[in-house]
Structures are given as structure tokens and as C-alpha cells.
Amino acid sequence: MLCFAHIGAALTLSLLLPLPAFAQDALNSGDTAWIIAATALVLFMTLPGLALFYAGLVRSQAVLSVVMQCFAIACLSSILWLVAGYSLAFGDSIAGWVGGLDKAFFSGVTSDVLSGSIPEIVFAMFQMAFAVITPALIVGAYPERMKFSAVLWMSSLWLLLVYAPVCHWVWGGGWLSEMGVMDFAGGIVVHATAGVSAIVIAMMLGARRGFPEQVRPPHNPGMTATGAAMLWVGWYGFNGGSQLAADGGAGMAIATTHIAAATAAIAWMAIEWIKFGKPSLVGAVTGVIAGLATVTPASGFIGPMGGLILGFTAGIVCFYAVQIVKFSLKIDDSLDVFAVHGVGGIIGSLLVSVLALAVFGGGGLAEGQTVIGQLGVQALGVGVTLVWSAGFTFLILKVTGALTGGLRVTEEQEIEGLDIAFHGESGYDLGR
Amino acid sequence: MLCFAHIGAALTLSLLLPLPAFAQDALNSGDTAWIIAATALVLFMTLPGLALFYAGLVRSQAVLSVVMQCFAIACLSSILWLVAGYSLAFGDSIAGWVGGLDKAFFSGVTSDVLSGSIPEIVFAMFQMAFAVITPALIVGAYPERMKFSAVLWMSSLWLLLVYAPVCHWVWGGGWLSEMGVMDFAGGIVVHATAGVSAIVIAMMLGARRGFPEQVRPPHNPGMTATGAAMLWVGWYGFNGGSQLAADGGAGMAIATTHIAAATAAIAWMAIEWIKFGKPSLVGAVTGVIAGLATVTPASGFIGPMGGLILGFTAGIVCFYAVQIVKFSLKIDDSLDVFAVHGVGGIIGSLLVSVLALAVFGGGGLAEGQTVIGQLGVQALGVGVTLVWSAGFTFLILKVTGALTGGLRVTEEQEIEGLDIAFHGESGYDLGR
Amino acid sequence: MLCFAHIGAALTLSLLLPLPAFAQDALNSGDTAWIIAATALVLFMTLPGLALFYAGLVRSQAVLSVVMQCFAIACLSSILWLVAGYSLAFGDSIAGWVGGLDKAFFSGVTSDVLSGSIPEIVFAMFQMAFAVITPALIVGAYPERMKFSAVLWMSSLWLLLVYAPVCHWVWGGGWLSEMGVMDFAGGIVVHATAGVSAIVIAMMLGARRGFPEQVRPPHNPGMTATGAAMLWVGWYGFNGGSQLAADGGAGMAIATTHIAAATAAIAWMAIEWIKFGKPSLVGAVTGVIAGLATVTPASGFIGPMGGLILGFTAGIVCFYAVQIVKFSLKIDDSLDVFAVHGVGGIIGSLLVSVLALAVFGGGGLAEGQTVIGQLGVQALGVGVTLVWSAGFTFLILKVTGALTGGLRVTEEQEIEGLDIAFHGESGYDLGR
Amino acid sequence: MKLVIAVIKPHKLDPVREALTEIGVSGLTASEVKGFGRQKGHTEIYRGAEYTVAFLPKVKIELVIPDDLVERTMETIRQTAETGQIGDGKIFVLDVERAMRIRTGEIGEEAL
Amino acid sequence: MKLVIAVIKPHKLDPVREALTEIGVSGLTASEVKGFGRQKGHTEIYRGAEYTVAFLPKVKIELVIPDDLVERTMETIRQTAETGQIGDGKIFVLDVERAMRIRTGEIGEEAL
Amino acid sequence: MKLVIAVIKPHKLDPVREALTEIGVSGLTASEVKGFGRQKGHTEIYRGAEYTVAFLPKVKIELVIPDDLVERTMETIRQTAETGQIGDGKIFVLDVERAMRIRTGEIGEEAL
Ligand SMILES: Nc1ncnc2c1ncn2[C@@H]1O[C@H](COP(=O)(O)OP(=O)(O)O)[C@@H](O)[C@H]1O
Ligand SMILES: Nc1ncnc2c1ncn2[C@@H]1O[C@H](COP(=O)(O)OP(=O)(O)O)[C@@H](O)[C@H]1O
Ligand SMILES: Nc1ncnc2c1ncn2[C@@H]1O[C@H](COP(=O)(O)OP(=O)(O)O)[C@@H](O)[C@H]1O
């Protein structure tokens, strides 16, 4: 993002707009205003957005446990980001693979240091919001059956061993950014990492009791839709903010983002209508999220047309990905993190090499880069990221299991529900 | 908005503030930052704001169908806006009645083209958010009894045949803007069009089973209040953003907006307290929305005093409008779209001619315009809009009915509830 | 804020950033964009944030009454702020104790008058959002048992007699700001005033039926968590906006704010885990709020380290404060307004004198001020504020009780629940 | 005295209540139940996963009445609750040995 | 054995449960019901539209007890659940032919 | 005819329903209830305040069957609903005097 969004911004702003001379070397209050607002929007995506989106999809006896997991992960990730994560991702690069500890505890990130046209502290907080939501996305893989202590251990290790390094590769000046990988807002860094890790966890943890025939339907689809709507709104900050400026590039990013979300939702609805005779709300909002995840890596590099194409592709491919994972592979990635986020992020990360072309209304590829060349870089980036994420997630789970005496709750706890079993609370007391 | 808000801005900024020389002919990152944020706020109004506001007012067996309708309309409208709507509204004017197709698919709207001090793509997206919420407002007219397919057909046609043209007349440089009509953020374009169309639909569709005696009370007033609060917050973007700049004019717009909302709510509460002995939450938040709808066309032209007056008027007039429509005329405009939005928008669109005067703390009328003169323009604008909207809505329903084999669901489906009947989902599964 | 935040801003911006020459004497659209957005965020904190946070903690038979109280207080406070509150707080000082009526009805606050680098109307609205949430915070002291009429009278009088004056002392150029008190975003003005008043009300009103053994548990912890998340996001505007500029100072304020919230939540969870064997969601989000309230007065003066320290302290101290008030003192400050907001605000207001030091990464104390000296000023400010608030709240309750024939509802009404008894509505109608 | 238990379709509760009041029934107790019988349930599909909902929402009303009112009560319920569709429900009658009104301590038919 | 059915005011459930445990009742089953009787319902008004809520929230408790405990049980419930206000509810007693504890298969009074 | 009332653990409802259909039970009515008995409730702690939840979620099923089916019904329920853990629940049998199918007006065993 750092690197590419800036090229993006450059491409965008260059020439045509009479730029205030000091644009890149002084504080731009407009850019700063937008990125602070964008940071709030991205935090809003996780809390309460993602929490509600996921919580509505589980049994009513586990609604609080899902919200709790999102909150706890958000808090832990924030602290870890301050302590080491930011530095591992954006500190001085160690051979292009990970950042050093020179920025641990935000050292040197005082309020008067700039990063581009905005204060670095604003950039660091914007990035913190990304570090908060990415491990929280994985919550969808293991609801209703993972020990809370295991959730905390795993998520913490994951942030440091998977998210931070990959973030460094792509946005922190690491080897992938050196190669010119295009990932505007996190198709590789956020969705590919979370998606593949989700599958690994689901497989190692095992399915929910009674999966697939006997699991209960979503207990509160309206809550899920509310969360999805918040995610959609917040995504303006996620993708639009990744431009790191308040300009036409940011505007185009929200345009492509919005169009992809809308198109994917319609595609998903259409499939359900044809296949099942009824379009469902849960289906429609799942389509929205699929479109948003898919357009993320491309949002700032493409045009409205690209948004339409990515959205349409996302709606169809992710729908079938869900069916394959759940019903062919019989993997209980309970809330479809891989099928929706993983698959979406990967599709977007690859297709951007084509859709960024001017013919599709995109901003074009980097100077002298070809579609094939770019596609190669993207494929390499995605591939290495998948392997790294899957591998470390496997190790992390082994360690976590050892630390917590097994990852999984007892059958009694699963039947009673995690809300009472692990948090001593019940979700709804609506009686007299 | 385009035209007038700029005069508004002009009025505001002129003279007293030392403006950076390039203000109107170069990108202003501050203005851009605010309008991008405002766009997110307006999207937030529909999803989840309006969806929750409406969903809480229906039976629990139709809660999801209402949310689904809002989502589906939002997605469809976004695509249609990209494909043709934006161009019909803001393309080169054809005799002042509708825009041409020169901007279809946002052609020419690249990230480096400006509209005033912000990128045109940002303006186009801000307008898209308006095109999303307006047809969604009409959902309140037909919940619990209209076929989903009919909802989609009707809303799509309505956007292109009613919203886009009227938007062109008023904001796209059409004949009404030529005449100097004042509609800061959509009293005519948004609320009058949606309100009158709602009445037409309610009459043609017929009332809900058991209306008026036997209908169930709102199933979740807390959900409705949550949605109303989100609408209130989002309205800052709706009215404040219509200034298309981050300046004192935008500030005054949110001030008048907020004051009108608060005053209307208090007025509504007071009436209920006197008439029924108890002020209700549903009543209070309905007052909020009435105040917001009413101040919308005036927000940028008036001062705090004007906000007080409009809010007070809105609270009283809209309250009685609800009684008249529902209990005198016996029209089941189920969630009172006309009585609240339509009536409010019309009141505001007329009173602005008076309240814009300096004596009321307003910014004044256009050079050499008189109150009577302006009132005439406003009345004409409102009148023609009502006729156009009602007429086309009637035609659209005829066509839709033909396409979907009747607009209305069967009695069995209505009793069972649209959630299960049309979307195969149930809203709440809170049992063990 | 006015005074100090500007010094803060000064400290921040001075020297290192090449400032556009007109920064302090002309409109800065970037600063304006951020403060308008921040105003929306602060309104969002009350509606629906705080309303949901509190409503989820009461019995289901009182859920609507709590939301209603938040809405009604928000509306009343807005009008009162326009009419007199803003002027009492920010008008020409009368001997440093209260502002004059020169700004009543926002007179002189036209869209072209500036306050620093933003329009004064924007500043006035930002402050209005503070005046809305502060009396609403007190709702947590008296749910399920106070007459609605009493709530309205008390809140109105409280805004004018407690909030406005204290706001003047600290931010309006009053005697405390003369002494150089540090209260970046309202530890004294907002949390100390509301917290101590809550205790007074709880004692005079008496406990809920069956307190402490027999009270019902929170009816909807998920609703509470949703509200807490919205409060967290909105707090970016509350603290970040108090910088009154879009710069590194604002960025650092959201950083310290976020870190304190996350740390306090983890501390609270840890205590519950150790003491009760299970960390609860209600506990975690209460920790979040405790951290946010505690960091508020310090947010713009300290660094990330300070945020960590304040958050950690908040989590532990506020947890035990709750136990003491409820179970030792047996005071039914039902939703722990004093223990969380009051105690938090006081801690933060005192510790800022130390944590503002450069050694902790803070921006330092004012020229020539010592820690002891500052601590004295802070203690004095807190002390006088507590006395003033408690005293006037006592008087206000006496007057209110006289006006409403007693503050408290009948036992029948309390058993039936305020929703039906006072608003004629029920919260959930989920049956067939 | 007899206890009449009737399981009916939810939207028939109010009509039945009104009809019963007219024939002089002094009170009744209703509860939301889930019914299983000849009437088919429905299937819900989420992200392609089918959930068969075997139970349908019904309302159960229970009323204790004097013996001589049993006939008319059953008839009234039957006529009012009938839609002719499968799933209309059942009426069962059990014997009640004692009854008491909590407020007054009255026993037997006075308690009803 | 007898089945005692009592319909009481919701906030009386816990007191009644405690009182019954004291007299040696081993268990009971409670459910939320809607009651209609002499006690008036209330009306809710939304945007001017009146909705009369005829049913009031009540709690129904069902307990099976040995014959000799019937008297004391009824008395205990009456005393604890009484508020003197209209709407306090009713107690009904029915005969139970058989009882079984699922866990152990015990039958008769042992099952209680 | 007999009315069989069984109070079981919630997650046993579906297995029991299926088992009963197999032995020829034509229908049943289920409701969510709160149970109190030997099985301990749990405590919830909010901000340090303890709430003891004495009642546990249970499901009550009611089915009216011909006399000759009582034995097998009780056995089936017992076997299917049993977990061996305390709290498995009870089965009670009462006599039913009359039954009627609302849709058709059929009475007696035909109504089942
Ligand atoms: N044997 C039974 N015992 C108790 N309740 C029954 C029994 N049979 C049916 N019911 C209840 O009656 C309802 C309707 O029965 P069903 O067989 O579906 O239709 P119908 O009564 O028209 O034949 C069921 O949903 C169930 O609640
Ligand atoms: N005949 C009846 N059969 C079953 N339940 C009844 C009957 N009469 C009253 N009830 C139940 O008892 C409750 C209280 O009865 P009501 O007549 O209102 O007051 P009271 O018992 O004090 O006379 C009712 O709400 C209803 O649930
Ligand atoms: N005497 C009774 N009358 C009615 N229901 C009872 C009675 N005793 C127990 N129950 C119901 O059966 C459930 C299980 O009983 P419990 O004593 O907890 O376990 P167990 O049946 O294994 O001994 C209780 O929760 C309650 O709902």
C-alpha cells in the first residue's frame, strides 16, 4: 500500500491537478482528516461490524462468545501492534522478510513525524485497524467449539508470525513490494492470509457437533445483515483510506469498492433464486462481503468497469467455493472465511493485473510492466503467502494446543453453548 | 445542490474568509475529505440505518424481508446509477428535462477530473448514495405484502423514470435549477418524490390484512430507534455534504439539521403526551425523522432559528398528517412514508423561501429574488414533481404488475410472513 | 480544550512542519472536514451508542425507556445548548465562573466567523455533541425507577447549572483554564461531573426493587457490546476532535485513546478470569469504557506509553470501584456511572500531570509548570468540580421532586416495567 | 370441571378468544408451542445448507370450565379455529379435580 | 400422584419456587404464558394507532406431587403468589396415572 | 386415550421426535420450559454481581396417544432422551376423556 498506493496516488494526481507545491513533503490537513476518519471506519468494521456479522450466524447460545472473541482479539492485536507488530511490518527491513524492532512501542513515531503527507502516527493507527480486523476475520472458522484461551494464544501468535511479516513483504518495503506486487488494500495481506489460515484451523479443530446435517441455522440474520452493512460502510475507509490521501484516487477506490459489492450481492441473489427458488438475506449480504474482499487488492488500481467485473466474478465463484468447502470437502469452516475472504482475495489479487489496464478504465501497470509479468508477480505473492500462512498456522495451533491442553471445548460445553460455559453470560433474557 | 449549494458556498465564503486563490479550480483535499466521509455517512443512512428503522416497525415474521428489500434496492440502484442514472441526472441536459447518456458508465469521470473543488468521481459517488436511499425510503409503503420481484422491478424503473429526471431538473442544471429553485439536499428530489409515490403504491397495492384494527404493533421499537439514530448521524453527511465543501456553510447546514431534528422530536413527544398521556419512543424517533426530512431542502440556506421553526412545524404537521392518511383516508402507507417524508419535504421546500431571509438568520435569497417570487418557483417545483412522480409511479406499477403476475403476495404468504415465504429464513431463533 | 488543545496543537505543529502561513487566521478546510466528521462521531456515541450500551444492561421491560431517555435528553440538551448553554459556557466570561448571554441562540455565530482554523459554528456543534452525551451518561444511575418527567426536568437543569459552568471554567476561558488546568477532552468537564452526580442521584432515588440480590441480569449483553463498540469508535471523534485540527496531535490523541481502551479491557478481563474463573463480555466492554473515560483528559497531552499506563490503571481501579460502590456502600448506581466514568475521569485528570512529561512520551507541561504544581491545579479542579456537581445535583433533585410529585415511580410501575408504564410500548414482540 | 387443551394456528388465537368470551368463558391461558403432525414443516437454506424445520409455530390454549360448558366450548373452538387446511390442530379434554383462585382462595367452579 | 398447575404473576415465580422447596417439593417445571381473564390488558399506541393487548404475561408452573402433599402445596402457592390484586391467578389439580424418571427408569412416586 | 407429558433436555427433542414417529406416533406438541429439580442451575456474574439461575432450559413434549401405545411411547422416550446425567427429565401420563381434530371434527382416536 505504502509503495503502490503512492504510485497510484502519483498516477492519479500527476500533471492534471495543480498540486500545492508542498504536497508530498508537508502535512496535508485534508489527507490527514480523511485518514483519521478512515481509521475510525476500519475500526468500525471490526467493532461492531464483523462481530455482529458473525454473531448473527451462530446459535443463540454462542452469540456472546463470538462478540467476545472479536473484542478480545481487537484489544490484544492493538497492544501487540504497538509493542512489536508495527515495527515488524514497517521497521527497517531485514533482508526484505521482516521489519526490525526499531519502531517497537511506536518509538520515533511522534506526532510531528510525517509519512508522506500525513503524520506517521495516523498511518500507524490506520495500519493498526488492519491488524485488528485480520485475525478477527478468522473467528468465522472456529465458532462454538474453540477454547477462549486457545483463541487468544493463537490469534496473538498469528498476528506476529503471519500477519506482520506478510504485511512487511507487501507494504513495508519487503521483497514483494520490491518486485512490484499490487495489493492496494489487502487482498494478499488481509484476505489470503486469513482465508487459508481459517481452513487449516477448521481442519485441525474438527467440525461442530452434528455438522453438516444437524447444525442450527443462523439465529439472527438481521444481526448479520446489520454487521454486513457496517462492514460495507467501513470498507470505504479500508479501501479509500489505503490511498493515504483525500483525492480522486481515493474517490475512485470507493467507487470500485461500492460497485463490486453491489454487483456481487446481485449475482449471489440471482444464483440462489435460480438454484433454490428464493434469494435469502444471508446470501445477499454474503455476496456483499465477497465482492468487497475481492475488490480490495484492486480497488485503487482499476476503474468502475473493473469493479463490475470483479463483483460479478466474486458473487459466482465465492458462492460455489462455499458449496465445495462445506459439502464436497466437508470442512466446517463454519462461517466460510476461506470461501468468501480467501477465495475472493486471491481472485482479486490475480485479476488486478488485467483489470488495472487502461482499456478496463484502470490506472495502468507500473512503468514497463506487462500483464503476464505482473500476473507472475501476483501469483508468486499469493502462492508464497498461502504456504507461509498455512504452515505457520499449523505450527501455531500445535503450540497453542500444547499450551491450553487441547484446542477444543468438551461436548457438554459445546451443547450448553460457549456463552454460559466460557463467559458465564446468556445472550437474550427476554422473558418476564 | 450543485448549482445552489455553490451559491450557498459562495455566499458563505465570499469576502470574509481569505480563500486560497485556487479554491474553485483545483482539488481541495479538505473538501474532498469531507465529501468522501459524507458519502460513507449517506450510505450508512440506508444500510443499516433505514433498514433497521423500518424493520423494527413490522411484524417479526417480516423483519428480514424489509432488510432484504433495502439491501437489494441499494445494490440495484448503485448499478443502475453507474450504468445510466448518473448520466440521466448530470449528463448534458436535453432541453432541461433529462441528462444525456454522455456520462453512462461514468464515462469521462476519471479520478483526475474535478467538479468544483472535489474530484467528480467523489461527487458521483455522493450522488449515488442519494440514489440508493431514495427508492429505499419507499419500502415503508408496502412492507409485508408486496412480491419481492415486484419490489425490484418497480424500484429500478422508478429510479430511472422518476428520480433521475427530477434530480436533473433541480441539481443537474435542468429547468427548475434554471428557475432558481432552492433544494439544498433533497426536499423535492428525495422526499417529495418518494413520499407521493409511496401513497400511490399503498393505494394500488391495498392495505395489510386486518388494517387498521388488527395489524400487529412494531415488533422491535429498539431496532427502530437504533435505525433512527443512524439516520440522524448520517444526515450530517446528507445535508452537510450537500455544501460540497468543508466550510462554514457545511457547518451551518449540520447545525440547522440537528436543531430541526431535536425540535421536531420534542414537539411530537409533547403531542403524544397530551393526546395519549404517554410519549412513546417510536413517536419520538418518528419526530426526529420528520424534522430531518423537513429541514433537508432548507438546511444550507437558513440559520439556527430557521431550524427551530422548521422542526417545530414538522413535529406538529407530520403528526397530524399520519393520523389523516391512516385513519381518515384509511390508506395503509404502512410506515408513513408520505406523512413523514413527503409532507415534511414539501413543507420545507416551501418555507425555505421565507426562512432563507436574513431576518431569520438565513443566507438570503438569490440576487433580486423576492419571497413571493421564490415561493412561486418552489410551489411550481413541488407541484410538477408531485404530478410527475405520481403519474410515473402509477404507470410503473401497471407494468410491474404485468411483469410479475400481480404485485401482491397470497394471503397464506402474508400470514406466514414474507421472511419464510420469500426468503426462506426466519428472523429470530432464540430458543434452545 | 480550546486553550490547551491549542497549546497542544502548537507544541505539535511548531517548527517541524512547514505550516501554511494562514494556518491560525484563516479557514483550514482539512481541519474543518475532520471536526465536522468528529461531531458526527460524537453524536453517534450517544445515539445509538450509549443508548444501546445502557439498554442492554437493564431488564427487557425497561429497554425502551432507557433508549427513550437518551433520545429525549439528546433533544432537550441540543435545544438548551442553542438557547443558552453554549453562551453560558463560551460567552464572555463573568468573573471566570460562567459565560454571559452574548452568544445565546448562537447569536454572532454565523457561518463565516472562525474559531481558530475552523468555523465557529462547527466548534459550537462539536461542543453541542458533548453537551448531549454528558447528561445522557447519567441515565445509567437511575434506570427502571425514575419518572420520565423527572428525568427531563433534572437533565435540563443539570445541563445549565452543572455542565455549562464547569465547561466554562475549563474550556471557556474560566478560572480553571486561567490556572492552566489540563483537560483535553473532558475528564473533569464530562466524566467527573456526570460520575459524581450519578452517585448523588442513586442515593437520593434509592435502589431498584430487590437490589442487590434480586435484580435481573443484563437482558441483552450483545446490545451492550454493540453500544460499547460504537462508543469506542465515536471516541476517536471525542478525543481526536478535541485537538480541533487534523494533524499529528489529533493522530496521537486517537492513538493514546485506542491503546488505553484496549489495555483496560484486557486488564478487566484478566481480573474476572482470576477472580471468577471466566472473563465476561460485559466485563470486557466495561473495561473498554473505563479505559476511554480515563484517557479522555490526557489523550492529547500524553504518548502511547501514557495510554498503556492509564488503560492498565483504569481496568484495575474501576473494577474495584464497582465492587465498592455496589457491594460495600450498597449504592445502586445501577450501571456504574460513578465507578466507571467518575473514577476513570478523576484518575486521568490527576495522572495527566505526570504522564504528560516527555519521559513518558508526552508533550510536556506548560512552560515553567512543575508536576507538583500541575497536580495541584488538577486536584483543585477536580475537587471544586465534584463539590459543585454534587451540591447542585442535590438541589436540582429537590426542585425536580417538588415539580414532579416525587422522583420515583410506583412499585407496580417498576414491576410492570417502564416501557409499558411510561411509554406504552413493549421492547420485543417476537412471537407469532 | 374440565381442562380443555386446544392447539391452534397462531393467527386464530384472537378470534378464538373473542368467540369463547361470548359463550361465557371467564378466562384462559395461552402459550406459544411448536407443533409436529401431518402438516409438513418447511426448509430454510443458508449459504446452500438446508435446514428442515420439522416443527411449526402453533398456539396452545388451556381453559378450565364447568362440565356443562364443554360441548359448546369445543364447538366454538372448532368453528372459529378451522381453516380447512391441514394443521388446524386438536382439542383435548381432561378431568380437573380441584381449582382455586389465588386472590380469594375460592375453590371449585367459583374459582374460574 | 397429582399434577398441580398454577398460573401466577411472573415476579412471583422465584418466591413460589423457594416456598415449595421448603415444604419438600423436589422439582417443578415453569413456562411463560399469556393470560386472559378478569384482569384488564393494556393498550399500546404507535403513531396514533391503538393496539389492545388482551393477554397479560403470566407464568405457569406444573408440578407432580404425591397425593398427600396436595393440600400444603396449594396453600403454599396461594400464600406466596397472592398480592390481593386482580390477576393473581389460579391453581388447578389433575390426577396423574403414571410417572417415570428418564435417567433411572424409576416409576411412581420414586420418579418425582 | 392418554396424555403423555415428557420434560427432556433441549438437544434431545429432535431424536425423540424421530424415534416416536418410527413407533407410529402421529403428532406431538413441544414447548420451551424452564426446569427446576435435582440438577443444579448455574451462576452468571456481571460486573461482580452474582445471579443464580435456578431454572434450566428444558423442552416439554405433550402427546395424546391411544392407550395401547403408552408402554412403547414411554420406553421410546426414556431410551432416546436418556444421557445418564442428572437432569434428564420426567415422563408423566394423564387420562384424556375426549379428543377432536379441528379440521374435520373427527373425535376420539380418529382425531389423533
Ligand atoms: N397426538 C397429538 N398429541 C398432541 N398434539 C398433537 C397431536 N397430533 C397433532 N398435534 C398438534 O396438532 C397440530 C396439528 O396437527 P396436524 O396433524 O399437523 O394437522 P391436523 O390436526 O389438521 O391433522 C400439530 O402441529 C401438533 O401441535
Ligand atoms: N378458566 C380459566 N382457565 C385457565 N386459566 C385461567 C382461567 N381463568 C383465569 N385463568 C388464568 O389466570 C389468570 C388470572 O385470572 P384473572 O381472572 O385475570 O384474575 P383472578 O384470578 O385474580 O380472578 C389469567 O390471566 C389466566 O392466565
Ligand atoms: N415433581 C416434578 N414435577 C414436574 N416437573 C418436574 C418435577 N421434578 C422434576 N421435574 C422436571 O424434570 C427436570 C429434571 O429433573 P431433575 O430432578 O433435575 O433431574 P432428574 O429427572 O434426572 O432427577 C426438571 O428440570 C424439571 O423440569
Q: Is D69 in the pocket of ligand 1 (CB under 6 A)?
A: no
Q: What is the mean pLDDT of each run of 10 residues along chain A (432 residues)?
A: 36 35 72 98 98 98 98 98 98 97 97 97 98 98 98 98 98 97 98 98 97 92 98 98 98 98 98 97 98 98 98 98 97 98 98 97 94 98 98 98 98 96 96 76
Ligand positioned closest to the Cα atom of F6: 3
- Which residues in chain F are contacts of A425 at CB distance < 8 A? 44, 46
Integer angstrom CA distances of residue C205 from C141, C144, C155, C398: 9, 11, 15, 11
Site of grid cell 465477497: A290
The phi and psi torsions of A90 (rounded to 5 degrees) equal -120, 10
Q: Which among E11, E14, E44 has CB closest to C424?
A: E44
pTM for this model (two decimals): 0.96
Q: Is D39 in the pocket of ligand 1 (CB under 6 A)?
A: yes
DSSP percent split of chain D into helix, strand, coil, nearest 5: 30, 40, 30
State mean pLDDT over E63-84. 97
Question: Within chain F, how many helices (H) and strands (E) appear?
Answer: 2, 7
CB C113 within 8 A of CB C26: no
Cα separation, C64 vs C55, whole angstroms = 7
Ligand positioned closest to the Cα atom of D39: 1
Tell me, what's the pLDDT at B10? Answer: 34
Cα separation, C358 vs C356, whole angstroms = 6
Is B107 in CB contact (< 8 Å) with chain E? no
Cα separation, C334 vs C322, whole angstroms = 10
The distance of F47 to chain C (nearest Cα, Å) reads 6
Is D4 in CB contact (< 8 Å) with chain C? no
Indicate yes or no: CB of A425 within 8 angstroms of CB of F44. Answer: yes
The distance of A292 to chain D (nearest Cα, Å) reads 17
Tell me, what's the pLDDT at F40? Answer: 87
Of residues E45, C323, D23, the one with CA closest to residue B323: E45
Site of grid cell 422542526: B311
Paired with D90 in beta bridges are D7, F101
Cα separation, A196 vs A333, whole angstroms = 10
- Collect all residues with Cβ–Cβ distance below 8 Å to A149 and sequence separation of at least 6: A403, A404
Indicate yes or no: CB of F36 within 8 angstroms of CB of E14. Answer: no
Is F46 in CB contact (< 8 Å) with chain A? yes
Tell me, what's the pLDDT at D41? Answer: 86
- Collect all residues with Cβ–Cβ distance below 8 Å to A210 and sequence separation of at least 6: none
Mutate to test the interface with B, among D8, D13, D44, D88 (most CBs of B within 10 A): D44
Q: Is F38 in the pocket of ligand 3 (CB under 6 A)?
A: yes
In this predicted structure, the answer to whether residue B141 has a pLDDT above a threshold of 70 is yes
The distance of D97 to chain C (nearest Cα, Å) reads 32
Strands F90-95 and F98-101: unpaired
Tell me, what's the pLDDT at E42? Answer: 87
Q: What is the ipTM of this complex?
A: 0.96
DSSP letters for A263-287: HHHHHHHHHHHHHHSS--HHHHHHH
Cα separation, C54 vs C223, whole angstroms = 9
Cα separation, B355 vs B377, whole angstroms = 15
Cα separation, A64 vs C318, whole angstroms = 23
**What is the three-class DSSP state of E6?**
strand
State mean pLDDT over B89-96. 97
Identity of residue A341: H
Mutating to test ligand 3, I would choose from E2, E26, E29 the residue with most ligand atoms within 8 A of its C-beta, which is E29
Q: Is E24 in the pocket of ligand 3 (CB under 6 A)?
A: no
Integer angstrom CA distances of residue C408 from C87, C144, C212: 33, 10, 18
Indicate yes or no: CB of D42 within 8 angstroms of CB of B420. Answer: yes
Tell me, what's the pLDDT at B25? Answer: 66
CB A257 within 8 A of CB A234: no
Site of grid cell 471445548: A409
DSSP letters for C120-158: HHHHHHHHHHHHHHHHHHGGGGSTTTB-HHHHHHHHHHH
Paired with E58 in beta bridges are E33
Identity of residue B59: R
Site of grid cell 403519474: B391
pLDDT, mean over chain F: 95
The distance of D26 to chain B (nearest Cα, Å) reads 23
Mutate to test the interface with D, among B68, B209, B213, B415 (most CBs of D within 10 A): B415
Tell me, what's the pLDDT at C403? Answer: 98
Q: What is the mean pLDDT of each run of 10 residues along chain C (432 residues)?
A: 36 35 72 98 98 98 98 98 98 97 97 97 98 98 98 98 98 97 98 98 97 92 98 98 98 98 98 97 98 98 98 98 97 98 98 97 94 98 98 98 98 96 96 76
**What is the three-class DSSP state of B293?**
helix
Integer angstrom CA distances of residue F54 from C147, D89, E111, F57: 32, 34, 20, 10
- Collect all residues with Cβ–Cβ distance below 8 Å to A405 and sequence separation of at least 6: none
Question: Atom 12 (ligand 2): residue with closest C-alpha?
Answer: E89
Mutating to test ligand 2, I would choose from D28, D101, D109 the residue with most ligand atoms within 8 A of its C-beta, which is D28
In this predicted structure, the answer to whether residue D61 has a pLDDT above a threshold of 60 is yes
CB D29 within 8 A of CB E58: yes
- Which residues in chain C are contacts of B279 at CB distance < 8 A? 68, 72, 148, 423
Task: Report the chain C residue with the minimal C-alpha distance to residue E56.
Answer: C416
